Amino acid sequence: MKTTFKWIGDSLINGVFVLAPVMVLGLLIAKAAGAIRGMVEPFAHRMGPLAGIPAPGLIASVLLVLICFLLGMYSKAVGSRKVVGWLESTVLDRIPGYAYMRGMGESMAGLHGKTAYHTVLARIEDAWQLGFIVETIEAGQYAVYVPGAPNPWSGSVYFMAEDRIRRIDMGLAEALGCLKRLGVGSSALLRGKL
């Protein structure tokens, strides 16, 4: 009975960690769309519906997509890297989980820069668990993030010596997929690596 309540509690907490970033992103997009709609509404009402869609909503949506596209293009420009770096170091890195999400996104996109994570098997007590080296502390000492299953956005951080980890040749997407499927398919991924 106690185990059931713990499982329910853990599942609810994991659900919050999955839902919270999605809700924040949704709220930010809705707020931006509302602000843009407020700006275009005075002159958009004169146009009437476009293809059956009210003009203010359609124009606001198109402008929001255009702004996101332009910001994406700007973020790739050399001069913008200083601005983005400043924003990350002063604001975004203080948001719990931001650096992890950014690193995972960069690794999955194949951008192996400063935040690329190496997939490892981490020895926790008498078991091996999939994890990622998130930082080298000093020679032979690492910070290893061991994600939970099925929600890899919550987990534990361990500070481990080299002899407690085994680097494996496994893509980030494969490792996360295995965790999300609660280990289904691990025989093909881990054969000969344990």
Question: Is residue 77 pLDDT above 80, yes or no?
Answer: no
Domain positions in the chain:
2-76, 81-114, 118-190
pLDDT of residue 92: 66
pLDDT, tens digit, 9 for 90 and up, residues 124-147: 998 999 999 988 999 889 999 998
Q: How confident is the model at residue 80 (pLDDT cuts 50, 70, 90)?
A: low
pLDDT of residue 142: 95
Q: Please tell me the distance from the alpha carbon of residue 143 to that of residue 155, in angstroms, as a whole number.
A: 13
Mean pLDDT over each residue of the chain, to the nearest integer: 77
Q: What values do phi and psi take at 143, rounded to 5?
A: -95, 120
Bridging pattern class, strands 155-161 and 141-147: antiparallel
pLDDT of residue 148: 87
Q: Do residues 143 and 135 touch, judged by C-beta distance below 8 A?
A: yes
Q: Do residues 126 and 104 touch, judged by C-beta distance below 8 A?
A: no
Q: Please tell me the distance from the alpha carbon of residue 92 to that of residue 99, in angstroms, as a whole number.
A: 8
Average pLDDT over residues 141-169: 90
Number of residues in the chain: 194
pLDDT, tens digit, 9 for 90 and up, residues 55-66: 677 778 888 888
User: Of all helices (H) and strands (E), which one includes residue 166?
Assistant: strand 165-167
Domain 118-190 falls in which CATH fold? SH3 type barrels. (2.30.30)
pLDDT, tens digit, 9 for 90 and up, residues 24-55: 777 777 888 788 778 777 776 666 666 666 66
161 versus 22: the higher-pLDDT residue is 161
pLDDT, tens digit, 9 for 90 and up, residues 100-120: 666 666 555 555 444 467 889
Q: Is 168 helix (H, G, I), strand (E, B) or coil?
A: coil
194 versus 123: the higher-pLDDT residue is 123
Q: Please tell me the distance from the alpha carbon of residue 166 to that of residue 187, in angstroms, as a whole number.
A: 17
pLDDT of residue 157: 92
Q: Do residues 128 and 121 touch, judged by C-beta distance below 8 A?
A: yes
